[in-house]
């Protein structure tokens, strides 16, 4: 592991996490991302902003989310004690709303009236449409035409919430193309529009800002686990698409060097098949969507589309801070296949009465791999970052069941 | 750096002719290598004063539908960065005077290896680079090797680039400045000529570099109006759309594609030449 004094304090003032991060956007957008950065710096220093954010998190989102000792799974795995951070119990059913709430409060401070967002599975789109409804803002969500076809319940939810869902037919018609299209919208609507990015990626200051808003997860865990188990955990586990729920859990613990952290990527049909979304495991550094990070790409530097049964993990990149944490060795990154995630999805439903989203089912599958090898005194905290209602059709199809 | 490169020589000649120049953009390998090469070879004679060649990328986030589609066509036909550089080398066997600028996104260059790319580009006869997602803040790792090779890094200035930010952009700029005439992506809205005039005068207060204006210039009349105000106008999406118009249902070029594209360049060029130039302050 690289010897550093602290894993906090990054990015540097140019938005770099070591080699990664930065501001790789067209000139038209540069003044806009500086404007966001300045507004965020001011908001961060303003106690009134923190107070407003905390108030909405408590009364609207329902925070703090509980921490829960998964006793029957613990017995089954026969090793470490397994705890879930229950972020699936948030309003809208996932961690995504922590970030959309923080950013919409910022957009309001900036006097913006129109919000744009990209979405893959639709979870970030729903969380964005929700806060736009809450504050009466115009909301446009870009979504790949392929994703619209396979995530129709979320498309309808966004429309109910008053958002306009714009199908993206460019490129491969998935999340990366939705992000390209959102950037094109922003270039074309520079005055009134705020781009509400859904994960710890994009140009500086987004990776750091989204991490900060999601860090409420780890901050709560620090207090809750001490109350419940008497001490800090030994292992933290979270799934990684762009990586926002994982960084939210990990970040407040990065300098607790004794705590092991594991990020779980989607191995899809298996790393060897090439049909996966494991950019940290099997990708190479490159530049996309405003930052340098690990990417799924061809030898000629063209971006490849990934595959995962979990639409929320289906992104060819990953947040730049994860890229840096990988290289520095602070966080371990592993991958779990569709089939393993589906097994964990069913096991958790039957044994704990919690239907997890397919994304944290990946994290749980890996918890199953490590818990048995640890002692009964060890504590694992896994972020249950989303609930599985949205996935029942996908899961049924995978199991060959017609609904 | 070099006071005597093709870009400087071309803009000096244009100034002597008292006219603005025509910069044409096509995507390398669109719709296939052979057709693209035929178009490229014909451009100087058809009236292109400078040539921009797009390096296709899977995720061209600053481009509108026309250039996006051309990029995908080229990639589907097997275009690679190496082939694009090869096209420049091939053109240089018949034309050693027309400045050639490669335009695109950073990732393919980064993955190719910056040093190797610059070395091969120089050998092939590339004069300038426009890397859309590499603002001055992130350009260092490409700037130094490019300068050492005598290749100009050309920067974009947008309507959102205010006077506070402009010096940072200009401090790195070489060759010419590329003014993005609209807040938008390529090939969509067209600029108001009055706004272009104001923007060019503002930029002239800050730089002696020639100024090319692009994004949304589609017709010979627009080209002439813009070229007469600035030092050059850039036409891209309109040319690329001509290519798309001459493809059959299978995406194969129909007879007459190359001739039609070059005929359009001829129209643009005649219009630009006839307009002459409103002498800059």
**Domain hosting residue A177, numbered range:** 16-56+96-210
Contact A289 B61 (CB under 8 A): yes
Q: Are residues A145 and A198 in the same domain?
A: yes
Q: Are residues A237 and A200 in the same domain?
A: no
Chain A's closest residue to B108, CA to CA, is: A301
Give chain A positions within 8 Å (CB) of B109: 301
**Residue A2 falls inside a structural domain:** no
Q: Are residues A27 and A149 in the same domain?
A: yes
Q: Annotated catalytic sites of B, by residue?
A: 52, 63
Q: Which of B104, B114, B133, B141 best probes binding to A when mutated, by most A CB atoms within 10 angstroms?
A: B133
Q: Are residues A191 and A329 in the same domain?
A: no
**Residue A4 falls inside a structural domain:** no
Rounded to a whole number of angstroms, the distance from the CA of A122 to the nearest CA of chain B is 21
CATH code of A296's domain: 3.40.50.1100
Q: Are residues A256 and A379 in the same domain?
A: yes
Give chain B positions within 8 Å (CB) of A171: 58-59, 68, 72
Closest CB from B59, B80, B165 relative to A300: B80
Q: Are residues A324 and A189 in the same domain?
A: no
**Residue A1 falls inside a structural domain:** no
Give chain B positions within 8 Å (CB) of A22: 137-138
pLDDT of amino acid B281 = 42
pLDDT digits (tens, 9 = 90+) for A178-212: 999 999 999 999 999 999 999 999 999 999 999 99
The β-bridge partners of A268 are A337
Give chain B positions within 8 Å (CB) of A177: 59
The least confident of B6-10, B47-51, B163-167 is: B163-167
Question: Considering A191, A210, A229, which residue would you say is the last residue of a domain?
Answer: A210
Closest CB from B59, B64, B160 relative to A32: B160
Which positions ≥6 away from A116 have C-beta within 8 Å? A139, A140, A141, A142, A182, A185, A186, A189, A193, A194, A195, A196
pLDDT band at B2 (very low <50, low <70, confident <90, very high): very low
- ipTM rounded to 2 decimals: 0.95
Contact A26 B106 (CB under 8 A): no
Closest CB from B58, B62, B72 relative to A187: B62
pLDDT of amino acid B279 = 53
Apex A181 CA angle, B243 and A189, nearest 5: 105
Chain B's closest residue to A173, CA to CA, is: B59
**Residue A10 falls inside a structural domain:** no
Six token digits for residue B57: 């990328």
Give chain B positions within 8 Å (CB) of A295: 107
Q: Are residues A264 and A374 in the same domain?
A: yes
Whether the CB-CB separation of A307 and A293 falls below 8 Å is answered with: no
Is residue A375 classed exposed, middle or buried when 0-12, 13-18 and 19+ CB atoms within 10 A define those classes?
Answer: exposed
**Residue A42 falls inside a structural domain:** yes
pLDDT averaged per 10 residues, chain A (length 403): 73 96 96 97 98 98 98 98 98 97 98 97 95 98 90 93 95 89 95 97 98 98 97 98 97 97 98 96 98 98 94 94 98 98 98 97 98 98 96 92 88
Pairwise CA distance, residues A237 & B3, whole Å: 58
Return the higher-pLDDT residue of B281 and A101.
Answer: A101
pLDDT of amino acid A222 = 98
Domains of chain B, each with CATH number or no CATH: 6-274 (3.20.20.70)
Average pLDDT value for residue range B200-219 = 95
Q: Are residues A236 and A101 in the same domain?
A: no
pLDDT of amino acid A2 = 53
Question: Considering A182, A210, A238, which residue would you say is the last residue of a domain?
Answer: A210
**Residue A9 falls inside a structural domain:** no
Q: Are residues A88 and A152 in the same domain?
A: no
pLDDT of amino acid B1 = 43
Rounded to a whole number of angstroms, the distance from the CA of B188 to the nearest CA of chain A is 10
pLDDT of amino acid B28 = 98
Q: Are residues A242 and A147 in the same domain?
A: no
Looking at the 3D structure of chain A, how many domains does it have? Answer: 2
Residue B53, SS3 per DSSP: strand
User: Strands B211-214, B177-180: parallel, antiparallel or unpaired by DSSP?
Assistant: parallel
Average pLDDT value for residue range B91-111 = 97
**Residue A77 falls inside a structural domain:** yes
pLDDT at residue B63 tops 80: yes
Q: Which of A27, A29, A142, A182 best probes binding to B when mutated, by most B CB atoms within 10 angstroms?
A: A27
Contact A289 B111 (CB under 8 A): no
Q: Are residues A164 and A38 in the same domain?
A: yes
**Residue A373 falls inside a structural domain:** yes
Contact B184 A297 (CB under 8 A): no
What are the residues of chain A with a beta carbon less than 8 Å away from any beta carbon of chain B? 14, 22-32, 170-171, 176-177, 179-180, 183-184, 187-190, 284-290, 292, 295, 297, 299-303
Q: Are residues A162 and A28 in the same domain?
A: yes
Is residue B139 classed exposed, middle or buried when 0-12, 13-18 and 19+ CB atoms within 10 A define those classes?
Answer: middle
Q: In what order do the strands lie in the sheet with A16-17?
A: A16-17, A20-24, A290-295, A284-288
Average pLDDT, chain B: 95
Question: Considering A210, A245, A278, which residue would you say is the last residue of a domain?
Answer: A210
């Amino acid at each position: 592991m690289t010897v550093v004094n602290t894993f906090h304090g990054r990015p540097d003032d140019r938005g770099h996490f070591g080699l990664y991060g930065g501001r790789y956007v067209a000139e038209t957008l540069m003044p806009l991302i500086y404007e966001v950065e300045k507004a965020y710096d001011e908001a961060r220093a303003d106690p009134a902003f923190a107070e407003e954010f905390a108030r909405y998190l408590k009364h609207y989102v329902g925070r703090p989310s509980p921490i829960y000792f998964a006793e029957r799974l613990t017995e089954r795995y026969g090793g470490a004690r397994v705890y879930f951070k229950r972020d699936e119990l948030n309003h809208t059913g996932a961690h995504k709303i922590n970030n959309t709430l923080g950013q919409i409060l910022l957009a309001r401070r900036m006097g913006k009236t129109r919000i744009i967002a990209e979405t893959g599975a639709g979870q970030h789109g729903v969380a964005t449409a929700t806060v736009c409804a809450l504050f009466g803002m115009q909301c446009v969500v870009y979504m790949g035409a392929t994703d619209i076809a396979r995530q129709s319940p979320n498309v309808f939810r966004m429309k109910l919430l008053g958002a306009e869902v714009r199908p993206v037919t460019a490129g491969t018609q998935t999340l990366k193309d939705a992000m390209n299209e959102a950037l094109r919208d922003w270039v074309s609507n520079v005055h009134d529009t705020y781009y509400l990015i859904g994960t710890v990626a994009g140009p500086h200051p987004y990776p750091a800002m989204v991490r900060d808003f999601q860090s409420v997860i780890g901050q709560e865990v620090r207090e809750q686990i001490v109350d419940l188990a008497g001490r800090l955990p030994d292992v933290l586990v979270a799934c990684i698409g762009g990586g926002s729920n994982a960084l939210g859990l990990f970040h407040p613990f990065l300098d607790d060097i004794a705590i092991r952290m594991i990020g779980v990527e989607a191995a899809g049909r298996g790393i060897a098949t090439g049909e996966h979304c494991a950019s940290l495991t099997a990708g190479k550094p490159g530049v996309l969507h405003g930052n340098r990070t690990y990417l799924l790409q061809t030898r000629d530097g063209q971006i490849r589309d990934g595959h995962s049964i979990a639409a929320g993990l289906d992104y060819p990149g990953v947040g730049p801070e994860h890229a840096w944490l990988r290289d520095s060795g602070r966080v371990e990154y592993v991958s779990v296949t569709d089939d393993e995630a589906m097994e964990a999805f069913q096991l958790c439903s039957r044994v704990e009465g919690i239907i997890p989203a397919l994304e944290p089912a990946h994290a749980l599958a890996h918890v199953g791999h490590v818990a048995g090898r640890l002692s009964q005194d060890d504590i694992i905290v896994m972020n249950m970052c989303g609930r599985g209602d949205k996935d029942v059709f996908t899961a049924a199809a995978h199991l060959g069941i017609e609904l | 750096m070099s006071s005597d490169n093709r870009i400087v020589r071309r803009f000096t000649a244009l100034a002597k002719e008292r006219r603005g120049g025509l910069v044409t953009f096509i995507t390398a390998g669109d719709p296939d290598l052979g057709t693209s090469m035929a178009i490229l070879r014909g451009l100087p004679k058809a009236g292109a004063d400078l040539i921009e060649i797009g390096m296709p990328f899977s995720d061209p986030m600053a481009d509108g539908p026309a250039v996006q589609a051309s990029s995908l066509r080229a990639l589907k036909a097997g275009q690679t960065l190496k082939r694009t550089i090869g096209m420049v080398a091939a053109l240089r066997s018949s034309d050693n005077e027309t400045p050639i600028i490669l335009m695109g996104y950073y990732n393919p260059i980064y993955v190719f290896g910056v040093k190797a790319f610059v070395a091969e580009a120089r050998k092939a006869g590339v004069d300038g680079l426009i890397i859309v997602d590499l603002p001055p803040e992130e350009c260092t790792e490409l700037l130094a090797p490019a300068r050492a090779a005598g290749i100009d890094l050309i920067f974009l200035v947008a309507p959102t680039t205010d006077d506070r930010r402009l010096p940072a952009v200009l401090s790195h700029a070489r060759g010419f400045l590329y003014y993005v005439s609209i807040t938008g992506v390529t090939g969509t809205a067209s600029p108001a000529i009055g706004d272009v005039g104001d923007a060019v005068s503002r930029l002239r207060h800050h730089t002696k570099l020639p100024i090319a204006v692009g994004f949304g210039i589609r017709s010979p009349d627009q080209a002439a109006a813009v070229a007469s105000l600035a030092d050059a106008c850039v036409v891209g999406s309109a040319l690329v759309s001509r290519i798309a118009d001459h493809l059959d249902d299978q995406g194969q070029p129909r007879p007459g594609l190359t001739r039609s594209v070059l005929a359009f360049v001829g129209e643009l060029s005649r219009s630009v030449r006839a307009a002459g130039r409103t002498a800059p302050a």
